[in-house]
Amino acid sequence: MATSRSESLDWRCPACNIGTNSEGVAFSSARAVSLHIAGKIKTGDSTHRQWAVGRVGDNIQTLRYETINTLAAEIEPSIIEARQIIEELILRSIEERDANEEPNVLAYRYIRNIEVPLHKCIRQTLVDGYGANEDEWWVKGIPLAIRRDCANRKEESTPREEPYHYTYLIDLKTIIEKNRTLFENRLRTVNKQTNHQREFLDGIGKCNDIRNRVMHTMHEISDDDLSFLKQFCSLVKQFSEDL
Ligand SMILES: [Zn+2]
């Protein structure tokens, strides 16, 4: 999936490393973590108080008799700052790993980050546009030739998934072209930078060409291919976002 790296990062308490509140619900924001720490300080927990004194400063001592909300508001900026530091470390380690990766392996990973969200977004857009029944989104949205190809690929594979599972990147391009009005807003979003209506669809075609080369390892993947794929990943992320 092409979800941003920071979205997949859990919110955790920097003092005790727990990821859920007292009711077992995962923290979903800096505010939630701050309330957890404030609550712990209120009950006299020294680990959390020490963390807060270290990050926020000694005035946390005088805030001890304030409400949990006041205390949490004081703590929240430190939680956000701590998370930003972790995010930067994660990004840096991903970039370092990418620099050492074989070009074909790296290209394959980028292509997965393009294919998976695109595939998911197209299905959802067709379901929203035509309806969730097979004779709606599948029959109305997918050209007959692609439906036939998918059925054949399904019969040749184990385990057998739903036919849509067997679309190729080049099929996804055709599906968008056939249902252009349903994808109009998404296309406009990604083509805004270039003011060029075919830019994104041509990009899918180019990804498909690189994909075919990745699968045949005798063909070299160039630095240009890699930088194109990397940029196209972020375009697909925009294209697939909820509108
Ligand atoms: Zn904690």
User: pLDDT digits over 38-69, tens only?
Assistant: 999 888 899 998 888 888 877 776 666 678 89
Q: How far is the CA of 45 from the centre of ligand 1 (A)?
A: 9
Which pLDDT does position 197 carry in this prediction?
58
Alpha-carbon span 123 to 132, nearest angstrom:
10
Domain ranges of the chain: 5-98, 101-240
> Is the pLDDT higher at 6 or at 136?
136
Query: What tokens were used for 212?
Result: 């075919």
Which percentage of the chain shows pLDDT scores above 90?
A: 44
Q: How far is the CA of 239 from the centre of ligand 1 (A)?
A: 38
Q: pLDDT tens digits, residue range 125-147?
A: 999 999 999 999 999 999 999 99
Average pLDDT over residues 74-101: 82
List b or e across 92-110, with b for residues whose CB sees 16 or more CB atoms inside 10 angstroms.
eeeeeeeeeeeebebbbeb
HSE (side-chain half, CA atoms, 13 Å) at 15: 24
Q: How far is the CA of 19 from the centre of ligand 1 (A)?
A: 8
Burial class (CB in 10 A: 0-12, 13-18, 19+), 145: exposed
Q: How far is the CA of 30 from the centre of ligand 1 (A)?
A: 12
Which pLDDT does position 61 carry in this prediction?
67
Q: Residue 20 pairs with which residues in a beta bridge?
A: 26
Q: How far is the CA of 41 from the centre of ligand 1 (A)?
A: 10
Which pLDDT does position 66 carry in this prediction?
75
What global pTM score does this model have? 0.61
pLDDT beyond 70 at 4: no
Average pLDDT over residues 82-91: 81
Q: pLDDT tens digits, residue range 202-232?
A: 999 999 999 988 887 667 888 899 989 988 9
